């Protein structure tokens, strides 16, 4: 069983007004509300507004064709690592900045919870896969707006330089579909002036 990811867009001011020791439980409720645990139901895709009745200031994004798994996101980051050195400087600059905050590990250190949870060494510290306050989301939206028109230029390099075929992201089309979904997530979150978190599941 692998790692899953649940991506939430939320009103950051409401989150910050919530006592820090209660925040993670609210995020968990939004990620998997009890009233939606129907194992026979078809999986939802796209935005779910509101994510849970007790968190009306939060939306959940369900990626298409990933089954909630983090693996496609990880392999998209690996694919970008393989091709980024061969694309144009402008494309690389904007997609680096876009993917670094979301799914691409470029080796830099990052405090992923940005002080959202209490600093108590006696407690298990919750872990997030991504944390983007509204200002970070706004910057991501700017990079996506400039990088998305250049995305097609990556196609030719994808076939030539992708060194790990047979993974979750095997070709440019799968890569671009996933990136465009992240573009949808970032654009809508920025439109609301909200922030993003990614919970491991």
The secondary structure of 37-95 as a DSSP string is --TTSPPP-EEEESSBTTBTTEEEEE-TTSTTBSHHHHHHHHHHHHHGGGS-HHHHHHH
Strand partners, 62: 46
CA distances 105 to 7, 75, 109, Å, are 17, 11, 9
| pTM of the predicted structure, to 2 decimals | 0.89
- In this predicted structure, what is the pLDDT of residue 67? 84
- In this predicted structure, what is the pLDDT of residue 191? 97
Backbone angles phi, psi at 183, to 5 degrees: -60, -40
- In this predicted structure, what is the pLDDT of residue 121? 46
Contact (CB, 8 A) for 70 and 4: yes
CA distances 40 to 37, 43, 145, 176, Å, are 9, 9, 38, 30
- In this predicted structure, what is the pLDDT of residue 104? 83
Per-residue pLDDT of 114-169, as tens digits, reads 677 766 544 455 678 899 999 999 999 999 999 999 999 999 888 777 656 556 78
Per-residue pLDDT of 20-73, as tens digits, reads 889 988 999 999 876 555 555 566 789 999 889 989 999 999 999 888 899 999
Question: CB count, 10 Å around CB of 36?
Answer: 12
Query: How many C-alpha atoms does 20 have within 13 Å on its Cβ side?
Result: 11
- In this predicted structure, what is the pLDDT of residue 3? 86
Q: How confident is the model at residue 1 (pLDDT cuts 50, 70, 90)?
A: very low
- In this predicted structure, what is the pLDDT of residue 42? 60
Per-residue pLDDT of 70-120, as tens digits, reads 999 999 998 899 899 999 999 999 999 999 989 987 666 565 556 777 665
Cis omega (within 30 of 0) on the bond before 81?
A: no
Q: DSSP class of residue 166?
A: T
């Amino acid at each position: 069983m692998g790692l899953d990811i649940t991506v939430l867009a939320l009103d950051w001011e409401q989150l910050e007004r919530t006592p820090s020791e209660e925040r993670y439980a609210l995020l968990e409720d939004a990620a998997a509300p009890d009233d939606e645990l129907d194992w026979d139901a078809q999986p939802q895709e796209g935005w779910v507004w509101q994510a849970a009745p007790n968190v009306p200031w939060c939306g959940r994004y369900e990626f298409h064709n990933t089954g909630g798994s983090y693996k496609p996101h990880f392999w998209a980051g690996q694919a970008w690592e393989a091709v980024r050195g061969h694309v144009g400087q402008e494309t690389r600059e904007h997609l680096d900045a876009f993917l670094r905050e979301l799914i691409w590990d470029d080796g830099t250190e990052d405090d992923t919870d940005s002080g959202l949870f209490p600093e108590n060494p006696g407690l298990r510290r919750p872990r997030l896969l991504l944390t983007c306050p509204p200002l970070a989301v706004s910057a991501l939206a700017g990079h996506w707006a400039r990088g998305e028109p250049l995305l097609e230029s990556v196609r030719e390099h994808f076939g030539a330089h992708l060194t790990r075929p047979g993974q979750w992201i095997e070709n440019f089309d799968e890569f671009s579909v996933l990136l465009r979904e992240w573009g949808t997530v970032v654009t809508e979150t920025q439109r609301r002036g909200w922030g993003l978190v990614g919970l491991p599941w």
